[in-house]
């Protein structure tokens, strides 16, 4: 099994629908992250969590929410999807100082029509 | 704030050519520096890292040296292969940003046979 598993891998949804992207990890790390990737913009941080009771907004959190259900699980929700949220979404986990780098999931490709 | 700037792509090379992808950073203190690689359809994988000035990270024939005097971490490979075709991201993490990864915009490399 992969260290970080994201579901679904691909999703097409309609404008205005609520959608949840799920992430689970087996690294045993406390820190988890959600990033969004757009062509030419690199990866931008949406939300991050340093432990189960700690949730923080990243640089582009508007229109998104998250839930940290357990140390291993961190889900991202789009409450009312809009077309400019079409992107590739990555979940990641790391040790406390990121010294060993981040471990990323394979990504969820989301299309909002 | 902390930031990473890397050369725009795409970079197109013939097989066995020499590769350089430039990366410079802005940060207070002493960040750790990383190169990640994203192969088509996959998530990001850590390629190499360096945690202090003059450190050289290396992996799979790729190298990068942490140059504090020029705030750079350029990625090099002496002889690229078709299988190196991917998107390469430079990133940093620093204590003053709680060790969150900050990414450059990515550079696409295309290696032709």
In this complex, do B105 and A99 lie within 8 Å of one another by their Cβ atoms? no
Number of H helices, E strands in chain A: 0, 11
Between CA A11 and CA A21, with CA A16 as vertex, the angle to 5 degrees is: 35
Chain A positions touching B100 (Cβ under 8 A) are 33, 45, 48, 58, 98
| Unique residue bearing structure tokens 């990555």 | A90
Closest in B99, B104, B106 to A98, CB measured: B99
Chain A positions touching B93 (Cβ under 8 A) are 97-98
Best CA proximity match to B110, nearest among B77, B74, B75, B80: B80
SS3 A83: helix
Whether A10 has its CB under 8 Å from any CB of chain B: the answer is no
Closest in A41, A50, A107 to B43, CB measured: A107
Can you give the pLDDT at residue A113?
A: 97
Rg (CA), chain B: 14
Can you give the pLDDT at residue A89?
A: 97
SS (H, E, C) B7-35: CCCCEEEECCCCEEECEEEECCCCCEEEE
Can you give the pLDDT at residue A97?
A: 75
Whether A43 has its CB under 8 Å from any CB of chain B: the answer is yes
Residues forming beta bridges with residue A51, ordered by sequence position: A54
Chain B positions touching A45 (Cβ under 8 A) are 100-101
Chain B positions touching A43 (Cβ under 8 A) are 44, 89, 101, 103
Asked if the model's pLDDT at residue B22 lies above 80, the reply is yes
Q: How far apart are CA A33 and CA B85, in angstroms?
A: 27
As averages over each run of 10 residues, the pLDDT of chain A (113 residues) reads 91 97 96 91 91 94 96 96 96 85 93 97
Can you give the pLDDT at residue B80?
A: 97
pLDDT in tens, B75-105: 999 999 999 999 999 999 988 888 888 999 9
Can you give the pLDDT at residue B65?
A: 98
């Amino acid at each position: 099994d992969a260290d970080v598993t994201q579901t679904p891998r691909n999703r097409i949804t309609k404008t205005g629908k609520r959608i949840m992207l799920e992430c689970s990890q087996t690294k045993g790390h406390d820190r988890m992250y959600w990033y969004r990737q757009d062509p030419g913009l690199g990866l931008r941080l949406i939300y991050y969590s340093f432990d189960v009771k700690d949730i923080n907004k990243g640089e582009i959190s508007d229109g998104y929410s998250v839930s940290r259900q357990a140390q291993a699980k961190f889900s991202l929700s789009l409450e009312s999807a809009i077309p400019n949220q079409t992107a590739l979404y990555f979940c990641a986990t790391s040790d406390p100082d990121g010294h060993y780098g981040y471990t990323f999931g394979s990504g969820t490709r989301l299309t909002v029509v | 704030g902390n930031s990473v700037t890397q050369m725009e792509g795409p970079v197109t090379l013939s097989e066995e050519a020499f590769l350089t992808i430039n990366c410079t950073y802005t940060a207070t203190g002493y960040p750790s520096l990383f190169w990640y690689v994203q192969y088509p359809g996959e998530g990001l994988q850590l390629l190499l890292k360096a945690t202090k000035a003059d450190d050289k990270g290396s992996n799979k024939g790729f190298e990068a040296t942490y140059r504090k005097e020029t705030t750079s971490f350029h990625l090099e490979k002496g002889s690229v292969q078709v299988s190196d075709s991917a998107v390469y991201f430079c990133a940093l993490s620093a204590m003053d940003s709680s060790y969150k990864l900050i990414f450059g915009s990515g550079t696409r490399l295309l290696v032709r046979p």
